[in-house]
Amino acid sequence: MPEFSHVASYNAPVENVWAWYDSPGAFRRIMPEWEGIRPIEAGALVNDATTRFRVQLGPLRPMWVARHYDVVAGEVFNDVMEKGPFGAWDHEHRFVSTGPETSEIHDTIQWKLPFHPLTFWTAPFTVKGRMNQMFAYRTQRVQEDLKRIAMYSEQPKQRVLVSGSTGLIGMQLCAFLQAAGHQITRLIRPETTLPPDARNDACVKWNDQTGEVLEGSLEGFDTVIHLAGAGIGDKRWNAKRKALLKSSRIVPTEHLVRLFGTLDEPPKTFMSGSAVGFYGDRKEESLTEDSPSGLGFLSEMAQAWEAAAAPAQKLGIRTVWLRTGIITTPMGGALKPMLLPTLMGAGGPLGGGRQYISWISLHDHIYATYHLMMTPSCEGPYNLTAPDPVPQKRYAKTLAKVLLRPWFAPAPGFVLKIMFGELAQALLLEGQRVQPKRLLESGFTFQHEGLESCLRQCLGKQKLPK
297-339 confidence digits (pLDDT tens): 999 999 999 999 999 999 999 999 999 999 999 998 889 888 8
**Position with higher pLDDT, 307 vs 415:** 307
pTM recorded for the entire structure: 0.94
Answer yes or no: is pLDDT of 127 > 70.
yes
Answer yes or no: is pLDDT of 459 > 80.
yes
Predicted confidence at residue 313, as pLDDT, reads: 98
Predicted confidence at residue 109, as pLDDT, reads: 96
Answer yes or no: is pLDDT of 140 > 90.
yes
Answer yes or no: is pLDDT of 181 > 70.
yes
Q: What are the distances in angstroms from CA 226 to CA 100, 165, 202, 297, 339?
A: 38, 9, 16, 21, 29
Predicted confidence at residue 189, as pLDDT, reads: 95
Predicted confidence at residue 265, as pLDDT, reads: 98
Beta strand spans in 73-222 (E): 76-83, 88-99, 102-112, 159-163, 183-188, 202-207, 212-215
> For 201-217, what is each residue's pLDDT tens digit?
899 999 999 999 999 99
- Would you call 164 helix, strand, or coil by DSSP? coil
Predicted confidence at residue 235, as pLDDT, reads: 83
pLDDT band for 118, please (50, 70, 90 cuts).
low
pLDDT band for 2, please (50, 70, 90 cuts).
confident
Give me the domains of the chain, ranges plus CATH numbers: 3-151 (3.30.530.20), 159-458 (3.40.50.720)
Predicted confidence at residue 280, as pLDDT, reads: 95
The answer to whether 403 and 342 have CB atoms below 8 angstroms apart is: yes
Distance, CA of 134 to chain centre? 17
Comparing 94-103, 118-127, 220-229, the range with the smallest average pLDDT is: 118-127
Helix (H) or strand (E) holding 270: strand 269-275
Answer yes or no: is pLDDT of 121 > 80.
no
The answer to whether 93 and 107 have CB atoms below 8 angstroms apart is: yes
> What length does the chain have?
466
Answer yes or no: is pLDDT of 124 > 70.
no
